[in-house]
Structure 1
Amino acid sequence: MAGVVRLQGLQRLRNALTGVTSRRSINSSSKKCEAKGQTQSAEPPKENWVSYGFDSKNKTIDRNVMKQTFFVTVTVCLVFGGFGWSYLPDPLLKDWAQREAYLLIRYREENGLPLIDRNLIDPAKIKLPSDEELGDTEIII
């Protein structure tokens, strides 16, 4: 709905820039109801319609372009876009990592191993600071 309002605003801006303004005929007759007894011309009354902003002169072109635009927007962007987004491959391999973790847990449970090995990293490779380097630093375990 907001898009339609914006499109109407653009139509008004376009009309203002081109100098098109609404022109009303001025009746300079002194009689208020001069046309009561007279027959009116045979031309059909103008149809009052509000443009969607695609074509301000032809109603059928305006409606057809609006319907095509919304069909393409909803069908291509929302339906096919959502379908493609749902079935995209996992770029960060989260599913693979979780599956591997479950397989490793099952293997360790079946073989009686702890879930996380205490010596996951070889203690010989870890360099810890000496007591002199630590000094009075508080160590929280």
Structure 2
Amino acid sequence: MEKLLTTTLLICCLTVFGQEKKSEETIFVVKEEQAIFFGCEKIGGKTAREKCTYQKIYEYIGKNIDSKLAIKEGIKGKYKIKVTIKIDREGNISETITDSEHKKIDRKIKKSFKKFPQMIPNKQNNIKRATSFTIPLILIGK
């Protein structure tokens, strides 16, 4: 009985894989046009626009996240955090995710990104798409 069940399962698996067709869908790994800050769209070249966008993101962080946050929370040394901001189809932040283990730091970083300016959304085949940015931050404690 056990051999019959094993043989039947093997035949079914072979039949399913034998009938499999290649997909005609195209999967995009590279973004055609990355979401960018307003003002960066005027810069020539995709790489230069992306560099400008990251520069503006870090300028925003420098102005809106307290540089003494780690000290205030009693953290010693360097405290590394990854912040992921999700940008919706309209260019607005839809979610902010951090990998911080400190709830107060997590809350303050998320709160600071609520005022993040609207961006020009990501495009793929000239269609607006949601995207995300992952930003490494290092907070310096005592």
TM-score (norm 1): 0.27
Which protein has the bigger helix share? 1
TM-score (norm 2): 0.27
Higher RCO structure (Cα 8 Å, ≥6 apart): 2
